[in-house]
Structure 1
């Protein structure tokens, strides 16, 4: 095919580094995967039943572009009750096809060619490509294990220029699980206000926190008017395959994003929206049970990694551990490849999440405790062979 058929951006866009290891693992038997970033829980029955009932009753047409008003009202109610942030259901909330689509239309709505967006590494693999696809320029700031992978305000000030338009903040973080507390968010907010920057706050893991009460960025004084909040139902409500997310943002921003959403998507799937209404109305107890299970698993895997020589901080949220493998002398990619081939355990090399992820691996503990125990056993054996 003539290369001229493809845009320069499409030609230069790198495939996801995570997919490589999923594809390798898919062709092997007996693999324990700690690589998949999705809950191992099935969507609660009442939520599934709501979707089934909606189809049986014939609700199969388009919804409003922004989503069913009832769902937006439930999202507004949830954001107020859970995180103390008030949004208008009619004008400040958009239901999207997963949080990924929300990030995409946010970037396209705010960026002109050449605008810079600060991305805090290690970071979710989609952020930089989404910025580039919207014509923006990603600017990376590294965080480090010595500070539990938390960003310092001084680090942000070092890279802010007259071209800086926004900062992407993911807390709890994928891949590290680190979470900023209220004081740290207030320090972060001061930087955003000082330089008049937007913040795209990816709070998809807000329900999955273990040690302290979660603080949503727009609840910080002065931040609601400069925050595009991204969230959804995939992680906290175990609804990854339903592909349902949402955006909360001030009316000027949300209405600009809605125009892009109208042309690109039309609306999110209606049966998934009915499911989400039920999840918000009656699903909190299911979420609480999942969090209890994740907390037990987190405690086990963090302690186990440290015991076998892989230094690991205790993540405050999400369902990822991010242990250091520097003591083995292998690169992240070498470690992940050899662990998969020699012991049939799939993890994600930290370098796919940015330069500061090198020397680490991402391990999802969204799998059964029995599987985690077997995975640790195999990893311990692998490390012992390296040391022999």
Structure 2
């Protein structure tokens, strides 16, 4: 590294120094992307000798339940489980419990045999896109509702698919449906993919949008892929039959749903996710799919694709996760209550940002579930990248919205996952010293 902090002896590092240090590390890592950014912040912490308030990485900040950890540990200690490959579609008990969870949360019929256990939600998304892209001949385009989780689009490009986007922001309701219709009319859209709640905006498609999207998908033979990674964290649903989270599954006969335990159960390190298909989709036969995957039946193609990628998902972890879902399903664990801490952190962060001259991004009437895992904000006169660098100079790490294929180049995303009470107090102190015009970092 050509830049050295020793040249700043007895002085706080200037914004210019911090920006050059950041640019130098990012360049050495091959350019700006999420993986490189996280490595850059780790390196800056080492060089500067000061820990950052890490709001950049979507890491859960809660401890996994004792029920989950205990059952996982028991499975590890039981000698005949670690040395066996897992069932390639997933542990039957886990698939069954997830199906019950989906029934409770979405108010739809769901069977254990329609649930596939994957190595995290990311593998589930990859599988869904790979299957969707081969269902119909001469359909090689996937439409993404953005901003969105970057690996989604990277996966599509890796699969050789054309990627198109529609920026949600204030494009909602009838205007959104109209724009989607225009895209579908071109005739080459294989699938449409979105997250609900959205990462990073935390917006949720409403009943009108989902119902009409389902109609368009049926009319034009487009596969809907709905990423429900943050199901249970939005405050828009509860574990009873009175309130159900809005989903495409309530309006469509054919769909893929993606679920993850990373944030919901704070089990990110164990890489357990789920791909859930509707019976009509999973029992569908496609000659085009058969040419690509040696089977034309979607259900078999899903199992085969997952097996060919990883030969299943982590075995012992599935026992712990199955027990965790069972506890949620039978009422022993109140998932909504345990995850509500993120909403409180989000609300506090927004108040803190408002007090210090920042403004909300993606803040409009459609974003009704705004207090969630992520917060988007900007600062007058600064682009997202400029704001990122200024925040780095006071020891705060965030991500620019452009990383998520957002058209808003004036904002950044903050994750409240690790923003515990100690970090909140530290963040309040650092933001209180922030100024878009300052010449020097003000100390960490």
What is the TM-score when the length of structure 2 is the normalising length?
A: 0.77
Give the Å deviation of 1:228.
Answer: 0.5
When the two structures are superposed, what TM-score results if normalisation uses the length of structure 1?
Answer: 0.87
Comparing 153-162 and 243-252, the one that deviates more: 153-162
Tell me which of 253, 262, 272 is aligned to 1:244.
272
RMSD across aligned positions (CA): 2.6
How far residue 338 of structure 1 moved from its aligned partner, in angstroms, is 2.5
Bigger mean CA deviation after superposition, 305-314 or 94-103: 305-314
> C-alpha separation between the residues in 1 aligned to 2:337 and 2:224?
31
8 Å Cα contact 1:95/1:246 also seen in 2: yes
Q: Counterparts of 2:160 and 2:85 in 1: how far apart (Å)?
A: 31
CA distance in 2, matches of 1:151, 1:84: 28
SS at match of 2:58: coil
Aligned with 2:60: secondary structure? coil
Question: Paired residue for 2:378?
Answer: 324
Between the aligned partners of 1:266 and 1:151, the Cα distance in structure 2 is 43
Separation of aligned partners in 1, 2:351 and 2:214? 33
Q: Deviations over 1:280-305 (max 9, x none)?
A: 01146353333221121121112322
User: Which has the larger Rg?
Assistant: 2
Change (3 A) 1:181 1:214: farther
8 Å contact from structure 2 (residues 346, 375) kept in 1: yes
Unaligned runs of 5+ in 1: 1-13
Match of 1:130 among 155, 158, 174: 155
| Structure 1 counterpart of 2:344 | 296
The offset of 1:129, in angstroms, is 0.9
> Where does the alignment leave 5 or more consecutive residues of structure 2 unmatched?
1-29, 238-242, 284-297
Aligned equivalent of 2:131: 109
Alignment of 1:285-364 (within 5 A): 285=333, 287-312=335-360, 313=363, 315-316=369-370, 318-325=372-379, 327=380, 329-340=381-392, 342-364=393-415
CA shift for structure 1 position 383: 2.8
Compared CA separation, residues 174 and 137, structure 1 to 2 (3 A): same
8 Å Cα contact 2:378/2:387 also seen in 1: no
Greater than 3 Å deviation, 4+ residue runs: 146-151, 211-214, 314-318, 384-388
Q: 1:46 offset after TM fit, Å?
A: 1.6
Question: Is the CA contact (8 Å cut-off) linking 2:214 and 2:248 kept in structure 1?
Answer: no
User: In the TM superposition, what is the alpha-carbon distance from 1:381 to its structure 2 partner?
Assistant: 2.2
Question: What is the 5 A alignment of 1:1-388?
Answer: 17-27=33-43, 28=45, 29-58=50-79, 59-60=81-82, 61-90=84-113, 92-112=114-134, 115-144=140-169, 146=170, 152-160=176-184, 161-211=186-236, 213-221=243-251, 223=252, 225-250=253-278, 251-252=282-283, 253-283=298-328, 285=333, 287-312=335-360, 313=363, 315-316=369-370, 318-325=372-379, 327=380, 329-340=381-392, 342-366=393-417, 367-383=419-435, 385-386=437-438
Asked whether the 8 Å contact 2:382–2:436 carries over to 1, the reply is: no
Contact (CA 8 Å) 1:320, 1:362: kept in 2 or not? Answer: yes
In structure 2, distance between residues paired with 1:317 and 1:274:
32
Q: Secondary structure at the residue paired with 2:160?
A: coil
Counterparts of 2:105 and 2:222 in 1: how far apart (Å)?
26
Cα distance between partner residues in 1 of 2:107 and 2:54 = 37
